[in-house]
Chains A and B, each alone.
Chain A
Amino acid sequence: GENVEQHPSTLSVQEGDSAVIKCTYSDSASNYFPWYKQELGKRPQLIIDIRSNVGEKKDQRIAVTLNKTAKHFSLHITETQPEDSAVYFCAATPNSGGSNYKLTFGKGTLLTVNP
C-alpha cells in the first residue's frame, strides 16, 4: 500500500518568512495530493491540493509543487503569519479503480510562526 513520509516534523519560522514542508510517497499510482491544516483539537481542513497532471498550483500565499518522477510534493507558505501556526498534513491517494478515495497521510509538521 501507499506510504507517505513527511519532513520536517517541526518547523519554526519568523513572521513574514517562508515555510516549506516536503512529502514523499511510494505508490506510483497515486494521483491526488491534498494538504490539510489542523489546529489544536479541530478537524483537518483542506487548504490546497494538486493532481498528477499538474506540476504546480498556487492559491494566494500557499503553493504546492509535485515531482511525479521523484515521487515528492511540497507545500510552500510565503509571508507567514501567526495564524498559520498549526499542524500540516500531506496525503496521497490513487483515487482510481476500487480505491474509493482512501487518503494516506504523512505524520504531520507542527509549524510555529513567531511574531
Chain B
Amino acid sequence: EPEVTQTPSHQVTQMGQEVILRCVPISNHLYFYWYRQILGQKVEFLVSFYNNEISEKSEIFDDQFSVERPDGSNFTLKIRSTKLEDSAMYFCASSETQGKAHGYTFGSGTRLTVV
C-alpha cells in the first residue's frame, strides 16, 4: 500500500533555529497538507497546498512557517525561528483529489522538540 514518508522521525533543535521537515507524498496525489499535534492534544490543521501554492492556512501558520514543493516528489515545512511552543508531532498528509476520501493518507510524523 502506498505510504506518505516523513523525515526525520525525530528532530531536536535549539530555540531560534530554523528547521525543515520533509515529506514525500504518494506519487499520484495532488493535494498536500501539514498538521501538527501537541502532546496529548488533538490534531490541528496547518496548511494545504495544491498546484504549487498554498490553498488554505490556519491561524497557527504564521509568518515563521513556510511550505515548498522543491521538486516533483518532496513537500517541505520550514519553521524559520523555532519557539518552545512549536514542540509537537508534525504530520504530513496527501490526497488524490479534493473529494476522494480514501486517498487522504497521513505520514508517520516528525516529532519536533525545541529546547
Contacts and interface: CB of A to CB of B under 8 A. Distances in A.
B55 A100 contact: yes
Contacts of A91: 43
A106 B42 contact: yes
B106 A43 contact: yes
B75 interface: no
Given A32-B101, A95-B99, A101 B48 contact: yes
Given A42-B108, A43-B106, A107-B42, A101 B91 contact: no
Given A43-B106, A44-B106, A49-B101, A98 B55 contact: yes
Contacts of A107: 41-42
Contacts of A100: 31, 48, 50, 55-56, 98
Contacts of B44: 105
Given A34-B101, A43-B91, A44-B106, A99 B42 contact: no
A102 interface: yes
B25 interface: no
Interface string B44-74: 1100101000011000000000000000000
A36 B37 CA distance: 14
B43 A101 contact: no
Contacts of A108: 41-42
Name A's interface SS.
loop
A108 B41 CA distance: 8
A25 interface: no
A53 B95 CA distance: 21
A89 B101 contact: no
A95 B99 CA distance: 6
Interface string B83-115: 000000001000100110110101111000000
Interface of A: 32, 34, 36, 42-46, 49, 51, 89, 91, 95-96, 98-108
Interface of B: 31, 33, 35, 41-45, 48, 50, 55-56, 91, 95, 98-99, 101-102, 104, 106-109
